[in-house]
Amino acid sequence: MTEREMKPPSDRDLTEKGLPLAPQTGRILLIACGALAREILDLKEANGWSHLDLTCLPAKLHLYPEKITDEVRAAVKKHRDTYDDIFVVYADCGTGGLLEAECKKLGVQMVAGPHCYSFFEGNDRFSKISEDEITTFYLTDFLVRQFDAFIIKPMGLDRHPELRDMYFGNYEKLVYQAQTDDPTLTAKAKTCADRLGLAFERRFTGYGDLARTLKAL
């Protein structure tokens, strides 16, 4: 039974709990953010990457980036004796370089880039366009599905919608980085832009550097 044939993880579970490790079948363990679970599982299934196992930390750690490094360190130490190699599927993700430094100390590699918006776009391309997109707010497939949990509620906009312009007044557009072709998600992303008072752009990125990085493992 493959990971996808098992009960698929819900976005709520990926946010709150992450993805537990299934019985070991591969020789390389991916320790990833819960927000990337579906994408990694899709890539594993599409490419037959049976040598890769996956476990995910709760996606909600992105609301507390100061906790990410400690949680990744604990996960690496927990599993390192069981696998030939471990690869961390986080970018810097607001850790200010601390995660990269810790991964070097632990002797494990990680995804290159400042955040998932960059590696989905492709780090080289993102570095070229980011200066012209300072006023852009980005969403991925996961963040569109979990818009209220990651944007609206943490900012208190469900209770105080009048704060919207204080938070987003300096933004001009919302770019939806689509990993998949899903009209329902595109429509929801447009609604997210409307709720924030921003112009909307859909940009199909696919899996970007995430796919290229995992293919090389």
Residue ranges covered by each domain of the chain: 11-111, 122-204
pLDDT of residue 7: 60
Those residues of the chain that have pLDDT short of 70 are 1-8
Q: Cα angle at 30 between 93 and 40, to 5 degrees? A: 80
pLDDT of residue 1: 33
Beta bridge mates, 32: 56, 89
- Range 11-111 classified under CATH 2.40.390: no
pLDDT of residue 98: 98
pLDDT of residue 24: 85
CA–CA distances in Å: residue 168 to residues 68, 135, 165, 206? 26, 9, 5, 27
Q: In what order do the strands lie in the sheet with 199-204?
A: 136-139, 173-178, 199-204
> pTM value?
0.92
pLDDT of residue 9: 84
| Closest C-alpha among 26, 22, 18, 17 to residue 5 | 22
| Closest C-alpha among 104, 95, 136, 99 to residue 117 | 136
